[in-house]
């Protein structure tokens, strides 16, 4: 543990010293995204047409919100494997309780947030206080959350309410509402992490908890806050996802676990904790979604689509590992 934290200690200071010039992480993601856009323009021009983007950006936005949650946890040297359960539970609560009735939507959303708060506290206490291994604890929480999914709905979410459909699916200035929500959330996460004392402490603790404890920071509270914030973000993502798909399934969260980790890695956040990169992470979410759209558009078989995404992830890890070593 100490070795790992010491190893990443060197990656912490650039957040403080690097002001005024773009970070290596941002540069890497921007360059990769630009390269992908050029590839799209040459081989799959329709994938960056306004029609295609109007369809894919809302999903990229959901991926941004989920990944920002995962990023906060990874910054604390943790891993959150309860992403699928958390998203699926909020999808189910926000569709099953209202059952198509708009008036019931607000109570359902509040209930979903309450569950997210509970799950976040549970994760945070198990990992931050009881000191369980993050992977083991969040796998357990994931199973519990799926238990909730089945108990509430019997695995049967209902059709989205018309109001939720408008909240998630509407457009403003040519961009889906979901994209705007993601941008606002990104702004909040970035400002809190980079411009507030609490945010700086949060990053410092992630980079070196032992050191942070020595200087008197409340390490456990910060770790706990990472898991709680992450759950709240997954919950929001789930509610938006329920709004984007007319008849969601009870297991919509399943396809977000690996991408959420992949996006955090591509965004430059070290899996050993420390400094977080909200803007590169958001760009990486767009990159991965667009990569999916690219491979669908050029018409490669599904197996090849999976391989392309795996290669992109491998390349991302290789670039950062090479630089860190």
Q: Is 170 in the site for another protein (CB under 8 A)?
A: no
Q: Is 159 in the site for another protein (CB under 8 A)?
A: yes
Distance CA(26)–CA(236), nearest Å, equals 26
Q: With contact defined as beta carbons under 8 Å apart, do 119 and 238 qualify?
A: no
Q: Is 55 in the site for another protein (CB under 8 A)?
A: yes
Binding part of the chain for another protein, among 4-12, 137-145, 213-221, 294-302 by CB under 8 A, reads 294-302
Q: Is 162 in the site for another protein (CB under 8 A)?
A: no
Q: Is 309 in the site for another protein (CB under 8 A)?
A: no
Among 38, 110, 114, 156, binds another protein (CB under 8 A): 156
Distance CA(229)–CA(137), nearest Å, equals 17
Q: What is the dihedral of CA 189, 193, 198, 202, to 10 degrees?
A: 110
Q: Is 275 in the site for another protein (CB under 8 A)?
A: no
Q: Is 133 in the site for another protein (CB under 8 A)?
A: no
Among 22, 154, 162, 170, binds another protein (CB under 8 A): 154
Instruction: Build a one-symbol-per-residue string for 91-130: x at contacts with another protein by CB under 8 A, - elsewhere.
Output: --------xx------------------------------
Q: With contact defined as beta carbons under 8 Å apart, do 248 and 97 qualify?
A: no
Nearer to another protein, 302 or 322 (CB): 302
DSSP-based three-state secondary structure for 278: helix
Distance CA(11)–CA(5), nearest Å, equals 10
Q: Is 310 in the site for another protein (CB under 8 A)?
A: no
Among 140, 155, 180, 308, binds another protein (CB under 8 A): 155
Question: How many CB atoms neighbour CB 314 within 10 A?
Answer: 12
Minimum gap (Å) between residue 180 Cβ and another protein: 18
Binding part of the chain for another protein, among 14-22, 227-235, 290-298, 317-325 by CB under 8 A, reads 290-298
Q: Is 244 in the site for another protein (CB under 8 A)?
A: yes
Q: Give CB contacts under 8 A, 24+ apart, made by 126-130.
A: 127/78, 127/223, 127/227, 128/219, 128/220, 128/221, 128/223, 128/224, 128/227, 129/220, 129/224
Binding part of the chain for another protein, among 182-190, 216-224, 227-235, 292-300 by CB under 8 A, reads 292-300
Based on DSSP, count helices (H) and strands (E) in the chain, helices before strands.
15, 2
Distance CA(325)–CA(323), nearest Å, equals 5
Minimum gap (Å) between residue 313 Cβ and another protein: 18
Identify the DSSP state of 118: H
Q: Is 250 in the site for another protein (CB under 8 A)?
A: yes
Q: Which helix (H) or strand (E) holds 106?
A: helix 105-124
Q: Is 10 in the site for another protein (CB under 8 A)?
A: no
Binding part of the chain for another protein, among 9-17, 178-186, 269-277, 301-309 by CB under 8 A, reads 301-309
Q: Is 46 in the site for another protein (CB under 8 A)?
A: yes
The sign of the dihedral angle between the CA atoms of 129, 130, 133, 136 is negative
Residues of the shown chain interacting with another protein in the complex, contacts defined by CB under 8 A? 44, 46-47, 49, 51-52, 54-56, 59, 99-100, 150, 154-156, 158-159, 241, 244-250, 252, 255, 289, 292-293, 296-297, 299-303
């Amino acid at each position: 543990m100490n070795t790992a934290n010491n190893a990443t200690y060197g990656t912490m200071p650039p957040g403080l010293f690097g002001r005024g010039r773009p970070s290596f992480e941002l540069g890497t993601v921007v360059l990769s995204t630009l390269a992908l856009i050029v590839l799209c323009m040459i081989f799959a021009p329709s994938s960056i047409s306004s029609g295609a983007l109007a369809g894919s950006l809302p999903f990229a936005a959901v991926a941004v919100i989920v990944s920002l949650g995962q990023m906060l946890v990874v910054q604390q040297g943790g891993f959150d494997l309860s992403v699928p359960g958390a998203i699926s539970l909020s999808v189910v609560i926000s569709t099953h309780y209202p059952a198509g009735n708009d008036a019931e939507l607000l109570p359902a959303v509040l209930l979903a947030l309450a569950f997210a708060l509970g799950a976040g506290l549970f994760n945070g206490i198990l990992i931050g206080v009881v000191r369980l291994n993050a992977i083991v604890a969040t796998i357990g929480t994931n199973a519990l959350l799926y238990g909730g999914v089945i108990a509430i709905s019997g695995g049967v979410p209902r059709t989205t309410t018309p109001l939720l459909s408008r909240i998630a699916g509407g457009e403003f200035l040519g961009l889906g509402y979901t994209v705007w929500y993601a941008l606002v959330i990104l702004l909040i996460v970035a400002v809190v992490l980079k411009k507030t004392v609490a945010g700086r402490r949060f990053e410092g603790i992630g980079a070196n908890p032992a050191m942070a404890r020595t200087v008197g920071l409340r390490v456990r509270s910060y770790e706990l806050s990472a898991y709680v914030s992450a759950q709240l973000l997954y919950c929001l993502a789930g509610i938006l996802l329920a709004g984007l798909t007319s008849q969601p399934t009870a297991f919509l969260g399943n396809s977000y676990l690996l991408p959420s980790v992949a996006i955090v890695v591509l965004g430059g956040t070290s899996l050993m904790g420390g400094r977080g990169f909200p803007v590169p992470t958001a760009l990486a979410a767009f990159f991965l979604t667009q990569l999916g759209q690219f491979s669908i558009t050029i018409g490669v078989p599904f197996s090849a689509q999976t391989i392309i995404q795996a290669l992109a992830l491998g390349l991302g890890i290789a670039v950062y590992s090479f630089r860190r070593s």
